[in-house]
Structure 1
Amino acid sequence: IAVSTYLNYWWPNLPGWISGVVVIATLAFANLTSAKAYGTMEFYFAMIKVVTIIIMIVLGVMVIFLGLGNNWHAIGLSNLWSHGGFFTGGVKGFIFALSIVVGSYQGIEVLGITAGEAEHPKHAIVASIRSIVWRILIFYIGAIFVIVTIYPWNQLDAVGSPFVETFSKVGISGAAGIINFVVLTAAMSGANSGIYSSSRMLFKLSKDGETAKSLSKLSSHQVPYVSILAISGGILLGLILNTVFSALSKSTADLFVLVYSSSVLPGMVPWFIILFSELRFRASNKALMAEHPFKMPLYPLTNYFALISLVIIVIFMFINPDTRISVCIGAGFLVLLSIIFFVRERKHQN
Structure 2
Amino acid sequence: MNTKGSVLTRGLNARHIRFMALGSAIGTGLFYGSSSAIQKAGPAVLLAYIIAGAAVFMVMRALGELAVRHPVSGSFGQYASRYLGPLAGFITGWTYVFEMAIVAIADVTAFSIYMGFWFHDVPRWIWILAIIFFLAAINLLSVKVFGELEFWFTLVKVSAIIAMIAGGAAIIVLGFQIDGAATAGLGNLVNNGGFLPNGWVGLLAAFAVVMFAFGGIETIGVTAGEAQNPGKSIPAAVNTVPLRILLFYVLTLGVLMSLVPWDKITGETSPFVQIFDALGIPLAAHILNAVVITAALSAINSDIFGAGRVLFGLSQQGHAPAAFGRISKRGVPWLTVMLMTGVLLVGVVLNATIPEDVFLLIASIATFATVWVWIMILASHVAMKREIARNRLAPSAFPVPFWPLASILTGVFMLGIIVLLGVYPDTRTALYVGTAWLVLLAVAFKLWVRGDGRRRPDLIDETPPAAVAEQIPVAAAGA
TM-score bracket for the superposition, by shorter chain length: 0.7 to 0.9
**Distance in 2 separating the partners of 1:263 and 1:209:** 25
Matched, 1:283 2:386: yes
Q: What is the aligned partner in structure 1 of residue 36 from structure 2?
A: none
Give the Å deviation of 1:91: 1.9
> Superposition pairs for residues 329-344 of structure 1, below 5 Å?
329-344=433-448
Distance (whole Å) between structure 2 residues aligned to residue 79 and residue 51 of structure 1: 26
The answer to whether the 8 Å contact 1:80/1:148 transfers is: yes
CA separation in 2, counterparts of 1:74 and 1:295? Answer: 48
- Of 88-97 and 157-166, deviating more is 157-166
Matching residue of 1:263: 366
Question: What pairs with 1:1-350 in structure 2 (closer than 5 Å)?
Answer: 1-2=108-109, 3-67=111-175, 75-157=184-266, 162-164=271-273, 166-168=275-277, 172-236=281-345, 238-242=346-350, 246=353, 254-255=357-358, 257-286=360-389, 287-288=392-393, 290=395, 292-345=396-449
TM-score by length of 1: 0.87
Shift of 1:209: 1.2
Alignment check: 8 A CA contact 1:69 1:169 kept: no
**Alpha-carbon distance in structure 1 between the residues aligned to 2:184 and 2:357:** 38
Which blocks of at least 5 consecutive residues in structure 1 are unaligned? none
Question: d(CA) in 1 for partners of 2:327 and 2:238?
Answer: 29
SS in structure 1 opposite 2:265? helix
Contact 2:364 2:427 in 1 (8 A): yes
> How far does residue 161 in structure 1 lie from its aligned partner after superposition?
5.2
Letter in 1 for 2:247: I
Distance 2:123 2:277 in 1: 30
Moved more, 93-102 or 321-330: 321-330
* Letter of the structure 1 residue corresponding to residue 438 of structure 2: L
Q: Unaligned regions of 5+ residues in structure 2, if any?
A: 1-107, 456-479
Deviation by residue 1:256-276 (Cα, 9 ceiling, x = unmatched): 542342232122121001111
Contact 1:60 1:166 in 2 (8 A): no
SS in 2 for 1:223: coil
> What's the offset of the Cα at 1:57?
0.8
| Residue 76 of structure 1: how far off its partner (Å) | 4.3
Amino acid aligned to 2:373: P
Kept in 1, the 8 Å contact 2:176–2:184? The answer is no
Give the secondary-structure state (helix, strand or coil) at the position aligned to 2:329.
Answer: coil
Give CA deviations for 1:295-320 in whole Å, capped at 9, x if unaligned: 21111112111111111122122111
Q: Output the CA distance in 2 between the equivalents of 1:29 and 1:159.
A: 31
TM-score with structure 2 setting the length: 0.65
CA distance in 1, matches of 2:176, 2:232: 42
Count of residues paired in the alignment: 341
For the structure 1 residues 241 and 75, does the alpha-carbon distance in structure 2 shift closer, same or farther, using more than 3 Å as the test? closer
8 Å Cα contact 1:203/1:227 also seen in 2: yes
The answer to whether the 8 Å contact 1:317/1:324 transfers is yes
SS at match of 1:201: helix
Q: How far off is 1:241 after superposition?
A: 2.8
TM-aligned CA deviation for residue 36 of structure 1? 1.1
* 1:289 Cα deviation from its structure 2 partner: 5.6
CA contact (8 A) 2:325 2:333 kept: yes
- CA gap of 1:132–1:79, structure 2 versus 1, over 3 A, is same
Provide the C-alpha distance between the structure 2 equivalents of 1:6 and 1:263, rounded to a whole number of angstroms. Answer: 20
Residues 161 and 252 of structure 2 are in contact (CA less than 8 Å); yes or no, is this contact kept in structure 1?
A: yes
- What is the alpha-carbon distance in structure 1 between the residues aligned to residue 239 and residue 413 of structure 2? 22
1:342 is displaced (CA, Å) by 3.0
> Which of the pair is proportionally richer in helix?
1
Structure having greater relative contact order (Cα 8 Å, sep ≥ 6): 2
Q: Give the Cα separation in 2 of the matches to 1:21 and 1:158.
A: 23
Aligned-partner Cα distance in 1 for 2:226–2:168: 39
Q: Give the Cα–Cα distance (whole angstroms) in 2 for the partners of residues 129 and 261 of structure 1.
A: 25
For 2:277 and 2:314, the matched residues in 1 are separated by: 49
Q: Kindly tell me: are residues 55 and 19 of structure 1, through their superposed partners in 2, closer, same or farther at Cα, counting changes over 3 Å?
A: same
Q: Distance in 2 between matches of 1:226 and 1:314?
A: 32
Give the aligned residue type for 1:29. A
Letter matched to residue 187 of structure 1: A
Instruction: Name the CA distance, whole Å, in 1 between partners of 2:186 and 2:356.
Output: 40
> Percent same amino acid among aligned pairs?
33
CA contact (8 A) 2:315 2:323 kept: yes
